[in-house]
Amino acid sequence: MKELKQLNPLMKRGREFLNVKYPILCGAMTWVSEPNLVAAVANAGCFGCLAGGNAPTEILRKQILETRSLTNHPFGINLITIAPSYQDHLAMLKEMDAPYIIFAGSFPKEKEVITAKETGAKVLCFASTISIAERMIKYGADAIILEGSEAGGHIGHVSSVVLMQQVLFKFADQIPMFVAGGIATGKMIAHALLMGASGAQLGTRFVMTEECKVHENFKMAFRHANARDAVSTPQFDSRLPVVAVRALRNKGTAEFGKLQLNLLKQLEAGTISRQHAQDEVEKFWIGALRRAAIEGDIDNGSLMAGQSVGLVDKIVPIKDLVEELLTDAENELELVKSKLV
């Protein structure tokens, strides 16, 4: 790999915060970001995020220990705040000496951020709007992952480009900010760093690596998809709040719509509580994602992917992916410098 003369100064803040060589995060993807992938990312000099998802607490504990057996480098543990086991996951981490805890899915309460920080961990929180970013900073987050709606999985409704202007430009001097959503190339990482980001998070690109253990059908669906195929799910009625999920359009997308309509009928009839209805929504995505990522059912399962899927057309080793991202970022910075001169 070429010497990163232009890139190194821009990576310094993110590198020191995450204690890694390269502040490139592999996003936590349920059923995807398991110990082998997380460790491979960490061993390549980047920052892996272990997905807590809806795993039973003891399973997550074992996965943390397994990841530690595979790498000596730091990694984050991602907790889904709307998962049934969320509070148990958070309580368990008090005993695990986790260096980084990441809150995702929805947004943690202030006391939960404090609880995480009391373990000695650095806390990263997602933000999908300026108001959420302000709230997470007020709660004591050590860093923000600014995620645009182009991302895969659970998303907000504001694009990365707007969030960078609203939030990154305003708060980058106050707190490390890592940008996510639609990022798939070294060139984009270079410009994010120039704008003040401390690093970047990618998800879809890491799915398309040899070390990722998802079903081959899952990867092939990504390989053949266009950016417009990654669509976000609608919310039909405010009585059933739904965190939007971006995934490749298939039969499973239609089934999720039918599920919402059925649950709304049950809410109207009074045969189901609002909390039970929301739990059923989350259960759908847990099961549907497993069917696609693990079992290979790409017709009925959930193919959670960001719009950057349109920039992915090959499967590569993580080592090659990281080298490509860094080399392209360095080349872009050299080009920018030459234009400025």
Q: Mark whether 114 and 61 lie in a shared domain.
A: yes
In the chain, the number of structural domains is 2
Domain of 201, CATH number, reads 3.20.20.70
Task: State the pLDDT at residue 2.
Answer: 82
Q: Mark whether 54 and 64 lie in a shared domain.
A: yes
Q: Mark whether 51 and 20 lie in a shared domain.
A: yes
Q: Mark whether 247 and 110 lie in a shared domain.
A: no
Residue range of the domain that includes 265? 216-293
Q: Mark whether 286 and 319 lie in a shared domain.
A: no
Q: Mark whether 232 and 205 lie in a shared domain.
A: no
- Stretches where the chain sits below pLDDT 50 are none
Q: Mark whether 85 and 192 lie in a shared domain.
A: yes
Question: Phi then psi for 140, rounded to 5 degrees?
Answer: 110, 15
Q: Is residue 1 assigned to a domain?
A: no
Q: Mark whether 132 and 118 lie in a shared domain.
A: yes
Sign of CA pseudo-dihedral 210, 212, 216, 222? negative
* 166-179: burial string, b at 16+ Cβ within 10 Å, e else: bbbeebbeeebbbb
Task: State the pLDDT at residue 239.
Answer: 85
Task: State the pLDDT at residue 315.
Answer: 97
Q: Mark whether 103 and 134 lie in a shared domain.
A: yes
The pair of three-digit structure tokens given for residue 17, joined into one six-digit string: 């915060």
Task: State the pLDDT at residue 76.
Answer: 98
330-338 contacts at long range (C-beta below 8 A, 24 or more positions apart)? 330/2, 330/4, 330/5, 330/6, 330/7, 330/186, 330/190, 331/186, 332/186, 332/187, 332/190, 332/191, 333/6, 333/7, 333/10, 333/190, 333/194, 334/6, 336/190, 336/194, 337/6
pTM: 0.94
Q: Is residue 306 assigned to a domain?
A: no
Task: State the pLDDT at residue 326.
Answer: 98
The pair of three-digit structure tokens given for residue 239, joined into one six-digit string: 């009585």
